[in-house]
Structure 1
Amino acid sequence: MKKENRLKKNEDFQIVFQRGKSAANRQFVMYSLIKQDQTLPRIGLSVSKKIGNAVERNRIKRLMREALREVLPHIKENVDIVIIARKPVINMSVFQITDSIQHVLKVGKVIKRSQIEVNKK
Structure 2
Amino acid sequence: MRCGFKVMDFLSIKENKDFCRIYAKGKSFVSPVVVTYVLKNRRKNIRVGITTTKKIGNAVKRNRARRVIREAFRILAPSIKPGYDFIFVARGKTPYVKSTEIVRALSAQLKKAGVMK
How would you bin the TM-score normalised by the shorter chain? 0.7 to 0.9
- Are 1:51 and 2:56 matched, yes or no? yes
Unaligned runs of 5+ in 1: 113-121
SS of residue paired to 1:87: coil
Note closer, same or farther for the CA distance 1:3–1:106 as it changes in structure 2 (3 Å cut): closer
Q: Which of residues 12, 24, 30 in structure 2 aligns to 1:24? A: 30
Note closer, same or farther for the CA distance 1:96–1:3 as it changes in structure 2 (3 Å cut): closer
TM-score, length basis structure 1: 0.83
**Structure (1 or 2) with the greater helix fraction:** 1
- Quick one: distance in 1 between partners of 2:90 and 2:84? 19
- Quick one: distance in 2 between partners of 1:94 and 1:23? 18
Q: Which amino acid aligns with 2:93?
A: P
Residue 89 of structure 1: aligned partner: 94
Q: Once the two structures are aligned, what percentage of the paired residues are identical?
A: 34
Instruction: Tell me the matched-pair count.
Output: 111
TM-score, length basis structure 2: 0.86
SS of residue paired to 2:44: coil
Q: Post-superposition shift, 1:7?
A: 1.2
Note closer, same or farther for the CA distance 1:70–1:4 as it changes in structure 2 (3 Å cut): closer
Residue 21 of structure 2: aligned partner: 15
Give the superposed CA RMSD: 1.5
Residues 65-120 of structure 1 deviation map (CA, whole Å, 9 limit, x = unaligned): 111111111112111111111112132011112112212212222212xxxxxxxx
Residue 111 of structure 2: aligned partner: 106
- Quick one: distance in 2 between partners of 1:4 and 1:53? 27
SS of residue paired to 1:111: coil
